[in-house]
């Protein structure tokens, strides 16, 4: 994959220069702080104990995985593909000595890095917030559980990102891709709730699969099955997205 490294670094430079990451980070911090404020107010008002220091990150995680994180991932993916097609800057990369597979992998790799960094950032902030506002019971095991939960959440979000990438390469308009992505996301969740028999086939129902990984009794076969389903889904989406990207005439 000649030229992949250069393309990967370039995509990262472009991503960082556009201040999207910073916006995402600020919004994430705000989200965590508001969540924490709500929890603290609740505790004070009702005298209930809702979340301990390492429980708090796990309280925050589903909120992010169903809202801000897929939203920002969609933005970044649309910007990398439709944004560049429409601005005419895609050809700047495609006329350099780098294969289209290299360019595609560089873009997808950066989306993956974006998701991972965001997750780890949210984890850190929520851990710190948890320790500040609810100091108390927590150990290294608790922190490791939190880390595991955040790391495995990467997988379903990344599969969703690959779906968005596929849509980016099917549809020309970035706005249309955005609405379709939101529609698919919400639609899949709704289908998963209405027809729970099929829910295990939809990657959206795996957004909370971290609970399987950190539960007290781990079911290895279920984990294996879900991992297989998610990776199969991801591979198909990646291949379809790359096929369209490679065939595209400018």
Number of H helices, E strands in the chain: 11, 0
**CB 19 → other proteins: shortest distance, Å?**
9
**CB 12 → other proteins: shortest distance, Å?**
11
Side-chain-side CA neighbours of 201 within 13 Å: the count stands at: 5
Q: Which is nearer to other proteins, 197 or 247 (CB)?
A: 247
Q: Which is nearer to other proteins, 107 or 145 (CB)?
A: 107
CA quadruple 247, 20, 118, 35: dihedral sign? negative
Q: How far apart are CA 161 and CA 109, in angstroms?
A: 11
Q: Which is nearer to other proteins, 32 or 77 (CB)?
A: 77
DSSP string, 108-153: HHHHHHHHHHHHHHHHHHHHHHHHHHS-SS--HHHHHHHHHHHHHH
Q: Which is nearer to other proteins, 185 or 242 (CB)?
A: 242
**CB 133 → other proteins: shortest distance, Å?**
38
**CB 246 → other proteins: shortest distance, Å?**
9
**CB 66 → other proteins: shortest distance, Å?**
31
Q: How far apart are CA 71 and CA 113, in angstroms?
A: 15
**Residues at the site binding other proteins, with contacts judged by CB under 8 A:** 2-3, 5-7, 9-10, 13-14, 17-18, 87-89, 91-92, 94-99, 247, 249-250
Q: Which is nearer to other proteins, 94 or 223 (CB)?
A: 94
């Amino acid at each position: 994959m000649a030229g992949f490294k250069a393309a990967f670094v370039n995509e990262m430079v472009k991503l960082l220069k556009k201040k999207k990451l910073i916006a995402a980070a600020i919004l994430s911090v705000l989200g965590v702080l508001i969540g924490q404020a709500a929890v603290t107010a609740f505790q004070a008002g009702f005298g209930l104990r809702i979340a301990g220091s390492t429980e708090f990150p796990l309280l925050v995680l589903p909120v992010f995985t169903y809202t801000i994180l897929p939203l920002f991932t969609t933005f970044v993916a649309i910007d990398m593909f439709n944004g560049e097609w429409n601005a005419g800057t895609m050809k700047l990369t495609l006329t350099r000595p780098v294969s289209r597979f290299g360019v595609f992998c560089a873009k997808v790799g950066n989306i993956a890095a974006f998701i991972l960094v965001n997750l780890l950032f949210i984890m850190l902030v929520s851990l710190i917030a948890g320790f500040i506002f609810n100091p108390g019971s927590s150990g290294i095991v608790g922190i490791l559980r939190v880390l595991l939960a955040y790391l495995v959440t990467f997988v379903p979000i990344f599969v969703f990102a690959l779906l968005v990438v596929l849509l980016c390469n099917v549809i020309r308009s970035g706005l249309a891709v955005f609405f379709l992505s939101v529609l698919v996301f919400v639609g899949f969740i709704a289908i998963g709730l209405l027809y729970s028999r099929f829910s295990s086939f939809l990657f959206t129902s795996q957004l909370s699969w971290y609970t399987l990984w950190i539960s007290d009794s781990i079911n290895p076969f279920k984990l294996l099955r879900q991992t297989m389903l998610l990776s199969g889904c991801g591979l198909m989406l990646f291949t379809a997205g790359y096929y369209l990207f490679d065939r595209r005439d400018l």
